[in-house]
Amino acid sequence: MAMLRDDRINYLNIGLMGITAILAYFMPFETFLFAYAFLGPLHYLTEISWLHDRQYFSKGKYDFIVLLVIGVLLSLAAFAKDFGYKIELYNQFVELNLFDKLLVFALFSAILFALVKNVIIKVVSCLLLFVFVSGWLDPENSLENQNSTTIFALTSLVPTLIHVYLFTGLFMLYGTLKSRSKSGLWQMLGFVIIPIALVFLIPVDKEKSAPSDYGKQAYYAEGNGFHNTNLSILSHFRLIPEVTNQDYVNYILKDPNYIPDSLKYRFVLDRLFVGKTFEVQGKDSIVSYRPLGPKYEDIEWGINNPVAKPSKVFLDSIFPIEKANLIKQQSAPFLENKDELFLIQNPESPYYQQPLTLAQLIPSSHPAIFDWIYYSQIGIMLMRFIAFAYLYHYLNWFSKTEIIQWHKVPKVRFIAVIILWLAACGFYMYDYGLGLNVLFFLSFTHVLLEFPLNIVSIVGIGKESIAIFKHGFKPLKSDS
């Protein structure tokens, strides 16, 4: 009966992969948003409960406290930024690169928690590990580390796509090898083939796949949403094109805010008078002025100036003309080689003489960035995979209820889980960005607490693979 049950669940999961792929194809952004808001919180709560009953797959009873404390610290810093509470705490985390350091330390320390029982060895090893990680990810090494795919994977992908896709696949593969399930192998094949076909083989219809206005707003979430995850992936792997001289002219020099209106009078006066002299009674004289604010009335005009203070009407009228002349002047040398890569000439810049991607040149809220994330072919291909990975991650968890028994908990705890889940859904329905902020602790901490299980799965795959190599893929006999 056990084998029949496993087969049934494995084939169910293949079907769930197909349904997930269909939804990710037609509505990639909305599929993700729905899954993350309504299935995600229930997954966090039930998995943490399940992990707790299994001592978080750690050798020590209290090992999980280290991961929990890291989750609390990262959440406090995130809350400080999102809600403006003790914002200096967030700034310190950024300055010291503590977000990356603590995340990588949590992952590496989970190896010790999953494999080492001796407390002294774990404590000493954790101290040495923290020193190593702090040095490796020190802000002074940021220029060396910024292009490292290893560091990008550890700091940006581990809590997102690696967690929901790679670690899910490893957990599934461990179960398949441990049970010697042939249907499980078919499930693993589907887990690899279906997203590949979804992303690379099925043509992209950019109009039909683009998000609704609400979907775009929720995904961006005032700069705090998953928009930044897509942008970081597209930028790191150079899927957004590198900036040409023409791009620099279009996006920087011709940007309406390149010379903002707040600098209008200072700009025009400088254009009219800087470097120029006027003869007064046979002597050269310069114009003296000080703009003390953005308004015309804020201009302090020297009493001994050789010319009268220009009128407001005159300065207003020539501002667009002088601005256009300056932009044309500055654009000319770039447009002579407009198709060449734009390279920063300032030796003090960290990007000196290095090509930039569009994402490094302009803010993440720029319309051109929105076009790449929400409307481009590569942006939609990436979103298909993200939607598939997240939705199936949750469905796989709930489909295996009969096997892993996550629902077998005390009634009071189960009721508490349901109440908290409904409250979480309420936050997302009221305001998606608020839901992301409030649920950050649960969503991030459940990733940290799962690290020892991920290590156990990897070790288990190795052990089962060796056993299969020695004895063959023989189905295990059931005791029932």
Phi, psi of 357 (to 5 degrees): -90, 165
- Its pTM stands at 0.89
* pLDDT band per the 50, 70, 90 thresholds, residue 5: confident
Residue 317 has pLDDT above 80, yes or no: yes
Bridge partner list, 272: none
DSSP code of residue 163: I
Pick the closest to residue 442 from 464, 470, 417, 459 (CA basis): 417
Distances (CA, A) of 445 to 53, 68, 71, 81, 451: 16, 7, 5, 18, 10
**pLDDT tens-digit profile of 129-187?**
999 999 999 998 887 888 899 999 999 999 999 999 999 999 999 999 999 999 999 99
**pLDDT tens-digit profile of 79-101?**
888 887 777 888 889 899 999 99
d(CA 411, CA 419): 12
Residue 73 has pLDDT above 60, yes or no: yes
d(CA 387, CA 30): 8
Residue 479 is predicted with a pLDDT of: 45
d(CA 21, CA 27): 10
* pLDDT band per the 50, 70, 90 thresholds, residue 477: low
Residue 112 is predicted with a pLDDT of: 97
